[in-house]
Chains A and B, each alone.
Chain A
Amino acid sequence: MNDDRRKHVVWIQKGEKLEEHTTASAQETMAIAKQFAKTLHGGEVLALSGDLGAGKTTFVKGLALGLGITSPITSPTFVLMKVYVACISLCHIDCYRLSSQEDLLAIGADEYMGKQGVVTALEWSRRVKGLLPKDAIEISLEIL
């Protein structure tokens, strides 16, 4: 986990509504995500963007906590997709190693994305923009 004390900015864009949070640590970023998770009902697709080290995985960890998922959230970079089953399940996808939108379908992501009872969080989502639903919630993270 990032134990850095750098300031991060988290933007959450849901339709027309844009929220901006400035956080002073990874812990605070997690807390924002945890709070945000409480507003989700399942079926949402979260498109995360931000550079390496910007706090995307930290955000997803907070999200999982908020959804009541107790198992550790580890990086999905290697296996591309991890699914955590709970009342509202979490599908954690990392598009870092994907080269095209079709790759996302090839790994079977459409079995989970946008489905009832599943919150899907995609890291490096810009690589698969065309496959994201119109109502995808955009979450951008940046180091200040």
Chain B
Amino acid sequence: MTILGIESSCDETAVALVSYASGRFSVLRDLVASQAKIHAKYGGVVPEVAARNHSMALIPLIKKALGKKRPDVLAVTSGPGLITSLLVGVQTAKTLSYLWKKPMIGVNHIEGHLYANFVSEQAIRFPAVVLIVSGGHTELLLMKGHGRYELLGSTRDDAAGEAFDKGAKILGLGYPGGPALSRLAQQGDASRYPFPRPMLDVPGFEFSYSGLKTSLLYRVLEMKKKRIQFTNRVIADLCAGYQDAIVDILVSKTARALRAHSVHSLICGGGVMANSELRKRLSGLLADSFPGVSLYYPSPRLCTDNAVMIAAAGAFHAIKKMPRMDAWKKIDVSAQWELAAKKQSV
């Protein structure tokens, strides 16, 4: 079975062609219309990109991915995300589904991040705790089987990735500067500028990162008032302290989820999982406190938004139940689609 994956939920336009045979995935094509160059030119993300550029980039990408081939199934991100961007991908997929008479599946973007893990590893055991952390999402789920989820908790305000990016902006590292902040943090001393851990004393699995960003701002304003020099050392220490707080909250809440639910696996995904400190701390957590739980996270390439993960999630839906040829009629964008609200989304 070959699956064409299409992802256009936010800034990236991505198309992938994946084949699934005898329990194994092969990635045949993995294309992203890179806006990195555009971004660099403007010194930030230019999400004009968001809707208009998706529509320009998508068809050429699909042509490039397929050549003369036709997939057996189409999988497209139909939510959550920016409604106008989602529409470009979904309408394109619907049209192709109708023209080619190939069934189509609407995939949840969060589910895609989680299924990025299954591209190289299919033998992941359930139940599992799932941690998805990106620029737009921070959530913990309980996964009981393929397509069976329960939401444990999500962020009440900003996502963890957003906390990285906005923190970087406050520290003058540009926007989005999350990766730059993490790099500097590696050279810093996290104990010099401690930051609060919002929500740790609140029971449950919810996150809050907006207040952390604010405390960084206040700290910086106070230091400026005292005329403290922002040397490289000071900035690195601030980055380390700030990152430590973000990571600590993620790890602590994950630990709480693992204590509350007896599971075999911890499955992680999303752009923030490319952060080496977070990977290290999660590995340490399992080694120290949950030795029976296996940790999974995708390669850095598959952590960020891509279409391979959408195709992989689509494949699992198709294996469970192949959609009808006219499934496209019923697929619509859902900008605020909560994965757990759709318990049997297959």
CB-based contact B166/A52 at 8 Å: yes
Instruction: Considering the complex, give the chain B residue whose CB is closest to the CB of A108.
Output: B84
In the assembled complex, which residues on chain A have CB atoms less than 8 Å from the CB atom of B52?
Answer: 106
For B158, give the chain A residue with the smallest CB separation: A75
1/0 per residue, CB under 8 A from B, across A61-102: the answer is: 100000000011111011111111000000000000111101
- How many chain A residues sit at the interface, stated as a range, is 20 to 34
CB neighbours (8 Å) of A74 from chain B are 154-159
For A79, the chain B residues whose CB sits under 8 A away are 9-10, 80-82, 136, 335
B211 an interface residue at 8 Å Cβ cutoff?
yes
At the interface, yes or no: B127 with Cβ under 8 Å from chain A? no
Cβ of A131 under 8 Å from chain B: no
8 A Cβ contacts from B79-128 to A: 80-85
**Cross-interface CB contact of A4 among B84, B159, B214, cutoff 8 Å:** B214
Shortest Cβ distance from A73 into B: residue: B157
A75-B159, A78-B135 given; A52·B48 CB < 8 A: no
Interface: B291 (CB within 8 A):
no
| Cα distance A128–B225 in the bound complex, in angstroms | 32
Q: Is the CB of A81 within 8 A of B208?
A: no
Q: Nearest chain B CB to A63's CB is how many angstroms away? A: 14
Cβ A52 vs Cβ B135 within 8 A = no
CB–CB B136/A78 < 8 A: yes
User: A4 near B211 (CB under 8 angstroms)?
Assistant: yes
Selected contact of B217 from candidates A52, A73, A103, CB within 8 Å:
A52
- Chain B residues, CB < 8 A from A29: none
Cα–Cα, bound, A100→B170 (Å): 22
* Residue of B42, B44, B47, B157 touching A57 (CB-CB under 8 A): B157
Q: Which of B48, B159, B215 has the most CB of A within 10 A?
A: B48
| Complex Cα gap A106–B46 (Å) | 11
The CA-CA distance from A143 to B221 in the complex, in Å, is: 11
Cβ of B336 < 8 Å from any Cβ of A? Answer: yes
Q: Residue-by-residue, is B39-55 near A (CB-CB < 8 Å gives 1, otherwise 0)?
A: 00010111110111000
Is B244 at the interface (CB under 8 A from chain A)? no
Asked if residues A4 and B218 are in contact (CB atoms below 8 Å), the reply is yes
Q: Nearest Cβ distance between residue B259 and chain A, in whole angstroms?
A: 25
Closest residue of chain B to A75 (Cβ to Cβ) is B158
Q: Is B253 an interface residue (CB 8 A)?
A: no
When distances are taken between beta carbons in the complex, the residues of chain A under 8 Å from B161 are 78
CB of A35 within 8 A of chain B?
A: no
Which of B134, B154, B157, B336 has a CB less than 8 Å from the CB of A82? B336
Question: Given the complex of chains A and B, what is the CA–CA distance between A124 and B166 in angstroms?
Answer: 14
8 Å CB contact of B47 from A52, A71, A107: A107
Give the CA-CA distance A71 to B169 in the complex, in Å.
29
- Could you list which residues of chain B lie within 8 angstroms of chain A, going by C-beta atoms? 9-10, 42, 44-48, 50-52, 80-85, 134-136, 154-159, 161-162, 166, 169-170, 175, 198, 208, 210-211, 213-215, 217-218, 335-336
Q: 6 shortest A-B CB distances, which residue pairs?
A: A78-B136, A108-B84, A53-B214, A53-B217, A103-B48, A79-B82
